[in-house]
């Protein structure tokens, strides 16, 4: 018998054995335009909105997904075929998988095909929020100075041709210009990326762009658009063919791109919107006046903790984060990094039990059913480490705190960027927009031990800090000489 294709028409049939949307999707209105329909958006925000629709029938809060790049065509084609339905598979540590069809996405647009539809959708009176998961790199700032990068070729094109937007900045300004002309209130811009002060960063970058493009519009944006900061959390690995097969075998369901995630979910949002917002507090979303302690704690512990496992994990040949956690040397190394280097710089966070938080991270990372690949964690390390790890190192240098765990990770990152194979002679899959440049710098390590650190946009002036440089040189020499990262980690625990 053939599989049942996931789409709206087949919902009655599918719902006999799988949880499906109980609300009237035809009546859904788009209240949110979301840019960046990756797995994370679908396991997190779209899931919260789905629950809001299920439990509170809040039909004004449907989502229009937007892909900005050609690379989004695959998800666009699949979601179109599936009437924007997809299955969320929550993987519990005990092996239970709770699968559910999510229906909060009403429509999806691909900006490279229909830029005007995207602008009109954002500018529509029903749209109250434009939310973003465009990754750290999408904000287009120089990681070392934090300033907008006007060198970017797409940005230069957009500045010359405001009617032909390409990046998020071109689309947002085009839509806001339209709203201003029509006398409509602004939408809020809600960043859901792992960047500390993500709303403030989005604000600063958009204003820098708008000032160059249209100074009057920049003044209007400064006055009218709010950018609430948020902390978002749910581990969402890359979807594997096994997940697709599981749905076929178990439910006879054909979903070409389901999403797998952990049970844990958290969203902390600053209650500072420029237009209406959904009543997400009904679902446990925390609305607070200042999100910074939460984001700092999450980015410096969870996201950095991931990299602290992932980079040496890739070198050693551990395929997943849970495989790293099963290795006591890796698990202990990560906890030492958290206890000795991150906790001291975080200090006490009101209302938070840091020890409990770190314990819970250990459990989440160890979930054997998530199988979060180290290649996902290591991907775009050039955008992640300057935000997740290097600030902790710099703060410890300033206070005389421990630096050896973070230093080993940076030295390991150099070695990782240099090699094309891991310690088992298997090919290393490196996904990073700075891959070629980092490889070149790392290759020079044999002549100049600190060659890698000379990428000042990433490392700032770390190469001038004597204490750090001594520790780094000692570590990098050992990494290249021993070719056994685990042994070096063991020495530090
Ligand atoms: C990960 C995050 O990409 C990474 O390096 O640390 O994607 C992490 O899984 C999420 O932020 C969890 O909320």
Taking only the tens of pLDDT, the chain with its 493 residues reads: 689 999 999 999 999 999 999 999 999 999 999 999 999 999 999 999 999 999 999 999 999 999 999 999 999 999 999 999 999 999 999 999 999 999 999 999 999 999 999 999 999 999 999 999 999 889 999 877 889 999 999 999 999 998 899 999 999 999 999 999 999 999 999 999 999 899 999 999 999 999 999 999 999 999 999 999 999 999 999 999 999 999 999 999 999 999 999 999 999 999 999 999 999 999 999 999 999 999 999 999 999 999 999 999 999 999 999 999 999 999 999 999 999 999 999 988 777 899 999 999 999 999 999 999 999 999 999 999 999 999 999 999 999 999 999 999 999 999 999 998 999 999 998 999 999 999 999 999 999 999 999 999 999 999 999 999 999 999 999 999 999 999 999 999 9
What pLDDT, on a 0 to 100 scale, did the predictor assign at position 144?
75
Q: Identify the residue whose C-alpha is closest to ligand 1 atom 6.
A: 303
101 C-alpha to ligand 1 centroid (Å): 23
What pLDDT, on a 0 to 100 scale, did the predictor assign at position 1?
61
Q: Identify the residue whose C-alpha is closest to ligand 1 atom 3.
A: 377
41 C-alpha to ligand 1 centroid (Å): 12
145-151 long-range contacts (CB < 8 A, ≥24 apart) are 146/201, 146/204, 147/208, 148/204, 148/205, 148/208, 148/209, 150/212
Shortest CA distance to 189 belongs to which of 206, 174, 177? Answer: 206
Question: Ligand 1, residues 260, 299, 303: which to mutate, most atoms within 8 A of Cβ?
Answer: 303
135 C-alpha to ligand 1 centroid (Å): 10
| Closest-lying ligand 1 atom to the alpha carbon of residue 305 | 6
Q: Given the structure tokens 């990782």, which residue do they identify?
A: 416
Q: Identify the residue whose C-alpha is closest to ligand 1 atom 13.
A: 233
Specify whether the CB–CB gap between 285 and 48 falls below 8 A: yes
State the burial class of residue 366 (Cβ atoms within 10 Å of its Cβ: 0-12, 13-18, 19+): middle
- In degrees and rounded to multiples of 5, residue 105 shows phi and psi of -85, 120
Specify whether the CB–CB gap between 460 and 466 falls below 8 A: no
158 C-alpha to ligand 1 centroid (Å): 31
Residues with CB under 6 A from ligand 1: 194, 233-235, 303, 306, 377, 384
pTM over 0.75: yes
What pLDDT, on a 0 to 100 scale, did the predictor assign at position 232?
97
Shortest CA distance to 277 belongs to which of 203, 185, 380, 363? Answer: 185
Specify whether the CB–CB gap between 39 and 75 falls below 8 A: no
141 C-alpha to ligand 1 centroid (Å): 20
Q: What's the rounded Cα separation, in Å, for the pair 486 and 425?
A: 15
State the burial class of residue 484 (Cβ atoms within 10 Å of its Cβ: 0-12, 13-18, 19+): middle
Question: Ligand 1, residues 41, 191, 306, 371: which to mutate, most atoms within 8 A of Cβ?
Answer: 306
Question: Ligand 1, residues 48, 302, 388: which to mutate, most atoms within 8 A of Cβ?
Answer: 302
292 C-alpha to ligand 1 centroid (Å): 18
Q: Identify the residue whose C-alpha is closest to ligand 1 atom 2.
A: 303
- In angstroms and rounded to an integer, the radius of gyration of the C-alpha atoms of the chain is 23
193 C-alpha to ligand 1 centroid (Å): 10
235 C-alpha to ligand 1 centroid (Å): 6
Specify whether the CB–CB gap between 355 and 347 falls below 8 A: no
Specify whether the CB–CB gap between 374 and 314 falls below 8 A: yes
69 C-alpha to ligand 1 centroid (Å): 22
Specify whether the CB–CB gap between 317 and 478 falls below 8 A: no
Question: Ligand 1, residues 196, 376, 377, 383: which to mutate, most atoms within 8 A of Cβ?
Answer: 377
Nearest-5° Cα angle at 317, 472 to 134: 75
| Closest-lying ligand 1 atom to the alpha carbon of residue 372 | 9
195 C-alpha to ligand 1 centroid (Å): 11
Nearest-5° Cα angle at 467, 463 to 468: 45
159 C-alpha to ligand 1 centroid (Å): 32
Question: In order of start, what are the domains of the chain with their CATH numbers?
Answer: 4-288 (3.40.50.720), 292-491 (1.10.1040.10)
Question: Ligand 1, residues 42, 235, 373, 432: which to mutate, most atoms within 8 A of Cβ?
Answer: 235
Q: Identify the residue whose C-alpha is closest to ligand 1 atom 8.
A: 235
């Amino acid at each position: 018998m053939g599989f049942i294709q996931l789409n709206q028409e087949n919902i009655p049939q599918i719902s006999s054995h799988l949880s499906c949307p109980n609300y009237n999707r035809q009546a859904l209105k788009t209240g949110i335009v979301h840019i960046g329909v990756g797995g994370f958006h679908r396991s997190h925000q779209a899931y919260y909105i789905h629950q809001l629709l299920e439990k509170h029938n809040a039909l004004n809060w449907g989502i229009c997904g937007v892909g900005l790049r050609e690379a989004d065509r695959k998800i666009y084609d699949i979601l179109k075929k599936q009437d924007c339905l997809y299955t969320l598979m929550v993987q519990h540590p005990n092996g239970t998988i709770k699968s559910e069809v999510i229906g909060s996405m009403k429509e999806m647009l691909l900006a490279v095909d229909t830029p005007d539809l995207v602008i009109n959708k954002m500018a529509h009176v029903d749209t109250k929020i434009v939310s973003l998961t465009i990754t750290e790199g999408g904000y287009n700032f120089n990681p070392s100075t934090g300033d907008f990068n006007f060198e970017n070729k797409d940005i230069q094109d957009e500045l010359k041709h405001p009617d032909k937007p390409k990046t998020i900045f071109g689309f947002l300004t085009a839509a806001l210009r339209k709203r201003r002309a029509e006398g409509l209130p602004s939408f809020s811009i809600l960043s859901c990326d792992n960047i500390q002060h993500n709303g403030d960063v989005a604000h600063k970058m958009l204003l820098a762009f708008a000032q160059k493009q249209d100074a009057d519009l920049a003044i209007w944006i400064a006055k009218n658009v709010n950018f609430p900061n948020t902390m978002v959390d749910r581990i969402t690995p890359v979807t594997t063919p096994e997940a697709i097969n599981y749905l076929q075998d178990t439910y006879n369901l054909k979903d070409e791109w389901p999403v797998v995630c952990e049970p844990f979910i958290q969203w902390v949002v600053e209650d500072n919107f420029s237009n209406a917002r959904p009543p997400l507090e009904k679902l446990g979303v925390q609305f607070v006046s200042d999100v910074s302690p939460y984001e700092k704690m999450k980015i410096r512990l969870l996201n950095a903790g991931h990299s602290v496992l992932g980079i040496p994990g890739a070198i050693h040949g551990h395929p997943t984060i849970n495989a790293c956690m099963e290795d006591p040397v890796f698990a202990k190394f990560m906890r030492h990094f958290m206890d000795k280097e991150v906790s001291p710089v975080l200090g006490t966070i009101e209302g938070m039990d840091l020890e409990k938080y770190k314990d819970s991270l250990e459990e989440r990372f160890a979930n054997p059913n998530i199988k979060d690949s180290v290649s996902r964690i290591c991907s775009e390390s050039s955008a992640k480490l300057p935000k997740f790890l290097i600030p902790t190192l710099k703060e410890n240098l300033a206070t005389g705190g421990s630096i050896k765990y973070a230093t080993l990770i940076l030295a390991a990152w150099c070695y990782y960027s240099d090699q094309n194979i891991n310690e088992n002679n298997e090919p290393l899959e490196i996904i990073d927009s700075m891959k070629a440049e980092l490889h070149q710098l790392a290759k020079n390590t044999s002549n100049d031990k600190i060659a890698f650190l000379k990428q000042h946009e990433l490392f700032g002036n770390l190469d001038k800090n004597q204490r750090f440089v001594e520790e780094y040189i000692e570590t990098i020499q050992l990494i290249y000489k021993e070719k056994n990262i685990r042994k070096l980690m063991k020495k530090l625990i």
